[in-house]
Chains A and B, each alone.
Chain A
Amino acid sequence: MRKIISFILIAIIAAGIFFSLEEIPFGAAKSRVREYYLDNGIKQTGATNIVTSVVVSYRGFDTLGEVTVLFLASIGLSAILYRKKEEKRKKRRKSSLILYTGCRFLFPLILLFGSYIFIHGHLTPGGGFQGGAIVASGFLLIMLGCWGWEGINRNRFKVTESLSGLVFVIVGLLGLFYGGYFLLNYLPKGIPNQLFSAGIIPIIYIAIGFKVGSEIAGIINDMVRSG
C-alpha cells in the first residue's frame, strides 16, 4: 500500500515537472539581462571573465549570502563534532616513505595551483569558490596521506575564515562610505586583461578563496580528528 501511494506521488511530481518545463523555450534568448552583461560587463567592471563580474560585482550581495550559508554549515558541523577532551585515538600506522614524501611534495604545488585560480579569478575561468575547493583538497591530501603528521589546530582555520569574511564585509562597507551603496567598485578599474585591474573584484575574490578553503579544510579536519 505504501509503495503504491509513493509511486503515485512520484508520478504526480514527475508530470508536474514535465509539463512546467515543457512551457519554457529552453535555450532561447528570452531575458535581456544576458545581453546587457555581455555588452557592458568589461566596460563597467573591468573584469574580462564575465562570470566573475556577475558573481562579485552585479550580484555581489547574493555572493555574501552564499558565503554566509557555507559559514553556518561549517560552524554547525564543528559544533556537533567538537569534543573538548581529545580521546585516546587508535594508534595509527605511519604511512610509508613514498606516500609521505609524495604528499609533502604535492601539497605546496596544489596550494600554488589553487591560489593561482583565485588570484586570477577576474581574468581566467575559475575564482574564489573553485580555488578554495582546490586548496581544501590539498589539505585533504595531507590529512589522509601523512598519518605521522598531527593535524592542524582547528582555531587557525576559524581565524582565517573569520578574517577573510571580515575583509569581504569591510571592503563592501567602504563602498557604502565612498559612494553610497554596498559593494561599490570604488578602486580604479585599470586596463582589462591585467592582473591589477577590475578594482575591488580581485580583493573580494581572494578573500572568498581564503574563506572557502579554510571552511572546507576545517570541515575535513573536524571529521578526520573526531571519534
Chain B
Amino acid sequence: MIILEIILVFVMLVGAVAAGIFKDLLNAVIAAGFVSFIAAILFYFLHAPDVAMAEASIGAALTVAIFIIAIKKTKGFEEDDEEDN
C-alpha cells in the first residue's frame, strides 16, 4: 500500500509540473484536474472520505469544467512575452 502511495505522489508531482509547463491552457487545466483527482485518492487512503469526496467533485470535476468554459470563451493560449529579463 505504501508503495502505491509513493507512486501516486510522484505521478501527482509530474502532473503539477506539467500544469505549469504546458502552453496550451486546455492541457494545463486537464493536468491540474488530474492532480486534484490523485489528491482525492490519497485523501481516501488517509481515511478522510469527506475531504476525498469534496476534492473529487469540486477539484476534479467542477473547477475543470468552469476553467474549460472560460477558456472556450477567451483565447486559450498563453502568449510569450519575454522581451525583458
- A–B Cβ pairs within 8 angstroms, 16 of them: A2-B84, A2-B85, A125-B49, A126-B49, A126-B50, A126-B53, A127-B50, A129-B54, A130-B57, A133-B54, A133-B62, A134-B57, A136-B62, A137-B57, A144-B65, A226-B73
Chain B residues near A (Cβ < 8 Å): 49-50, 53-54, 57-58, 61-62, 65-66, 69-70, 73, 84-85
Contact of B50 among A51, A144, A216 (CB under 8 A): A51
| Least distance between B23 CB and chain A CB atoms (Å) | 19
Chain B residue with the shortest CB-CB distance to A219? B66
Q: Measuring CB to CB, which residues of chain A are less than 8 angstroms from any residue of chain B? A: 1-3, 49, 51, 117, 125-127, 129-130, 133-134, 136-137, 140, 144, 216, 219-220, 223-224, 226-227
Min distance, Cβ A216 to any Cβ of chain B, angstroms: 6
Residues of B close to A130: CB separation below 8 A: 50, 53-54, 57
Measured CA separation A219–B67 after assembly (Å):
12
Q: A130-B57, A223-B70 are in contact. Are A140 and B62 (CB under 8 A)?
A: yes
Q: Is the interface of A mostly helix, strand, loop or mixed?
A: helix
Closest B residue by C-beta to A135: B57
Smallest distance from the beta carbon of A103 to chain B beta carbons, Å? 14
Q: Write out the residue numbers on chain A whose beta carbons fall within 8 Å of the beta carbon of B66.
A: 219-220, 223
